[in-house]
Amino acid sequence: AEMAARDEWMIFDATNRPRSRWTYCATCRQSFTRALAIEMDRRRWRHFREAPVSKFRCAHLRGVASVLTNGGEVEVAERVEQEASRGLPPDDLGEISRAMSLRRTDPAAALEILTPLRARIDRCEDDAVRVYYTRALGFTLAQLNRSQEACPIIANCVELTMAVDGPESESALTLMSTHATLLYTAGRHDEAEAMLARVLALQTRVLGADHPSTRESRKILMKMLSLLDKAARST
């Protein structure tokens, strides 16, 4: 399946219709390995960062940032997020993108941007927009060490992501792993352990035992169990 997807991508990559090419790539990304997905989206970034300012360009660059973030290239992803809203008049998506670019360097400023948008986003019927917002808000609160507040927001984001991308998509499983980590930080250790064990089982079955996301969840679970064991022996 991966070889067929790679061959089809090469056919679309040679077309002179970039909109068709990148729309196709966005719809079949789940077929690619992480390395190929990052390679594909780096090329998409090079194409669209020189394109005229438009919401279409903005949407594609945000997609690039998401893939790069999942691939562990966080600093590059943040630069892409900043480029995504360059030149666009302020709107809700642009403000969310701006907050995402600030959440690591200035999470307090990111929260100031996100908070006034919450009522409007809650009424939004576009699940993809709500995923983008809840992810930004949850991650920002986590960055501010406000895990108790971040937990229900990330839990909501997991549900929305499952509805948009599928219940066993890599994006949903990655968010579930993040949710488990937040639960642990918030002191809800039993829930965290159970959720992370479930995520690891799903990732092993869906992505494979050697997939980077699976290895990362396994490492987090082992560390979590080690800390819980030490705490139990010290009491």
| pLDDT attached to residue 19 | 40
Tens digits of residue pLDDT in 29-60 = 444 455 555 666 666 666 666 666 566 666 66
pLDDT at 5 over 60: no
The pTM (predicted TM-score) of the whole model is: 0.62
pLDDT at 80 over 90: no
pLDDT at 3 over 60: no
Please spell the DSSP secondary structure of the chain, one letter per residue. Answer: -HHHHHHHHHHHHT-S-HHHHHHHHHHTGGGS-HHHHHHHHHHHHHHHTTSPS-HHHHHHHHHHHHHHHHTT-HHHHHHHHHHHTTTPPP-HHHHHHHHHHHTTT-HHHHHHHHGGGHHHHHH---HHHHHHHHHHHHHHHHHTT-HHHHHHHHHHHHHHHHHHH-TT-HHHHHHHHHHHHHHHHTT-HHHHHHHHHHHHHHHHHHT-TTSHHHHHHHHHHHHHHHHHHHHHHH-
